[in-house]
Chains A and B, each alone.
Chain A
Amino acid sequence: MKRWLPLISFAILAILLGFGLKNADTKSLIPSPLIDKPAPDFNLPLVGQPEVFVSKSDLLGTTYLLNVWGSWCAACRVEHPFMNQLSRSGILPVVGLNWKDEPTEAIAWLKQFGDPYSINMSDYSGRTAIDFGVYGAPESFIIDAKGNVRYKHIGVLNQQIFEREIQPLLATIAREVSGQ
């Protein structure tokens, strides 16, 4: 049986690598400590309307997707068509968190690529992003009607990930609401 040993070792290795691959899917650098905890408070001006402020409490009552983006971020451009599509689909409102960005550039960028955001807040200093534990743009959070963070995705969000991870979650959230 000695001759089968290499193949057997390889098979074990391959299974291990498969496991690794499965785990590689969970991309977060640090599992966000915010999951299932209240989202940090924020009170931010809107992009293009610096006199209008939106706070966390204003958004209570709806489940929404918070999308961290910046016009300086090329990966955001890759992600953007999906955000537009998501916003059009009306599955849930998309709220923008414009991170460390010049409002004028942000507005120009949205003109060029489309504006999916029902509400688009400007986090010029980046403080809110830190409260959220944002590691890089783009990053997306699902925040439920009670203001709890339910999900976090680092990197480009796409249809596949949305269907696989977010839609089941939205269904769960909907059940919770109807259950009460």
Chain B
Amino acid sequence: MIAELGQLTLIIAALLALAQFAFPIYGAWRNNQSFMAMGNSTAYGQFVFVSIALGILTYSFLVQDFSLAYVANNSNSDLPIIYRISAVWGAHEGSLLLWVFIITLWTVAVTVVSSRKTSVLPKAFSARVIAILGLVSFGFLLFVIFTSNPFDRILPAPFDGRDLNPLLQDIGLIIHPPMLYLGYVGFAVAFAFAIAALLGGEINREWVRWARPWTLLAWSFLTFGIALGSWWAYYELGWGGWWFWDPVENASFMPWIVGTALLHAQAVTEKRGSFIGWTLLLSISAFSLSLLGAFLVRSGVITSVHAFASDPTRGVFILMYLGVIVGGSLALYALRVPKMISGSGFTWFSRESLILINNLLLTVALFMVLLGTLYPIIADAFGMGKISVGPPYFGSLFIVIMAPLVMLIPLAAYSRWKQDKAGRVLSKLLVPLFISIAVTAMVAWQNDASNLRTLSGVFAGTWVISGTLRYTIERFRKNNRFTLPRSEFAMVLAHIGVGVFVIGVAMVETTSTEKHLAMGSGDSYTIAEYQFTFKGTEHIDGPNFSAERGTFLVTKNGKLISTMYPEKRQYRNNQIMTEAALDPGFTRDLYVSLGDPLDEARQIWAVRIYEKPFIRWIWLGALMMTFAGLIALSDRRYRRKKTHQNEPSAEPSNNTNPLTNGSMP
């Protein structure tokens, strides 16, 4: 009975979403205060009803109501309680409900902020924003109700459920989807601001100032979500990779690339008033790419090339939705985008021009990822056979495109708005250049395994870090104290994060030691001065699985430094899982996982042994970018009661640094 209630709440929520679109948009058009105000109440109402629906689904998982097809497919009576909760978003229907819930969450946040007395948003503007968010949410609610209802019954009810995919039974997967969706859906807010500005004709730098904190917040969540996913894949998938360039990852990465470009473009628009049309386009694109990602992943279009599962009706629905939302907004953009290039001009070497290069490179990177991801569809459409694009395409191209971007980071931080001299900036960066060369030389000398790729990565990373630090020190000196404005501190932190990330990637990709071999009980093998001794396996039982657990002793120079226990699990639904054992460290991870038993009697197993230097730096860098986004968000100017309308560009250039947040993954 309660499931039917869930269905009902979804329908009510959809009606409220429709009202949330219709009333305020009409109110803003007619300048009718009471209609505009209805946006707020309907937004709150929608949030409440979607929360109830999510609550009911969670409850159905907790009480194991296997008469719900969704619960039966993704839970099992042996499933530990924590995973019953995460199973709520463990598959398509529930994750879509979570998606809708997060839209309503963002909407409520926007509503609360914009209806504060201190809010600077014009009433009509915020009414339009809320209306657009209502429309976005309405489409998704229809999608849930008509094609992906998590409350569908399966009759007769099975005795027990199929269990949640063991890969999803993990702490990383409890938080990863909500974070990622907060990011994806968060771009809907920037999108709604852009559409509201286009609709109202208020296309000036003010709307960017209002939209920017929301973009920052969404970008931070997305960065964190992607990093979390990467970390999870690394320890849970059993073969130690951290990024695979598969379509599903690309689906999350494309909005990130555009989001990053958007943050930088917003900085220019906010400070200088230039790039307004471009910023509008990026705002629309970031969210559109989130939707495109949802389409690619949920319609079966991409996986159809190699897999069976697909549901064309879902695909048709999302494609129509894309057509309405994206097509509509791009048409609006074409009609309304200001004809005149506004803002002040700038010369070929200035902060504007460097950010322009940043945006160009990011755009090229986006098209490259998009092309590689969609190529199988293109090939299929033109009858070129079943084709897939190998990861090396992405890997090598991405480095080529991102290398100049990374090298320009310290220059951009130093350069002045409007015009500057390359010589002035470069002269300040001589010391960092020297440091980078020294560090690279040291790595080359210390590490025999290092090659040109490692060294260029280390050089680029050190260059970014030391260049950014040099800048920070100079700012400290000038201000005579060890603080920076938050937005500037955020920029510094994010850019250092990029440097840390680059070093991590360069080290992991080129100097990892990986060995796959057959080991019997008692065998030893040495990689990178670590000796691994296999002590055989034993049988253990978990709540919903049984496993063979291997024991490995790791010694370095004869001293025991770690005992590692990789497992090969068989879950009760017959799925087999490889649980890798990790010995994490700041400068290296040790990684052991069991392949399959080659000879059970003699306890000979296929074994993977990896030593991965600096892999933690990849996620550390991403975390720094995440925090940078949050710090920028707390900058004073977003909390100021009334922003004065006078020229921010009047401030001396070196004092107003844009949040040129992270520029590379």
Contacts and interface: CB of A to CB of B under 8 A. Distances in A.
Interface string A8-32: 0011011011111101111111000
A29 B309 CA distance: 10
A23 B304 contact: yes
Nearest to B380: A23
B665 interface: no
Contacts of A3: 277, 333-334, 337
A77 B381 contact: no
Q: How large is the interface on B (under 10, 10 to 19, 20 to 34, 35 or more residues)?
A: 35 or more
Nearest to B277: A3
Contact of B378 (A16, A21, A136, A155): A16
B319 A21 contact: yes
B374 interface: yes
A19 B306 CA distance: 16
Q: Is the interface of A mostly helix, strand, loop or mixed?
A: helix
A134 to B, nearest CB: 12
A91 interface: no
B327 A24 contact: no
B374 A16 contact: yes
Interface stretch (B37-45, B295-303, B597-605): B295-303
Contacts of B73: 74
B326 interface: yes
Nearest to B315: A21
B319 A17 contact: yes
Interface string A64-97: 0000000000100110000000000000000000
Interface in B287-311: 288, 292, 295, 299-302, 304, 306-310
Contacts of B312: 21, 24-25
Q: Is the interface of B mostly helix, strand, loop or mixed?
A: helix
A6 B381 contact: no
Nearest to A11: B327
A6 B333 CA distance: 9
Contacts of A74: 72-73, 158, 162
Contacts of B378: 16
Contacts, number: 91
Contacts of B69: 78
A24 B315 contact: yes
A7 B327 contact: yes
Most buried by B among A11, A24, A26, A112: A24
A23 B302 CA distance: 10
A7 B315 contact: no
Contacts of B302: 20
A136 B310 CA distance: 15
A135 interface: yes
Contact of A7 (B162, B322, B330): B330
Contacts of B158: 74, 77
Given A29-B307, A74-B72, A154-B308, A17 B331 contact: no
B316 interface: yes
A19 B381 contact: yes
Interface in B330-353: 330-331, 333-334, 337
Given A19-B377, A21-B319, A24-B310, 6 more contacts: A3-B334, A10-B288, A21-B312, A23-B380, A74-B73, A78-B69
> Which 4 pairs from chain A and chain B are nearest by CB?
A24-B304, A20-B377, A7-B330, A19-B381
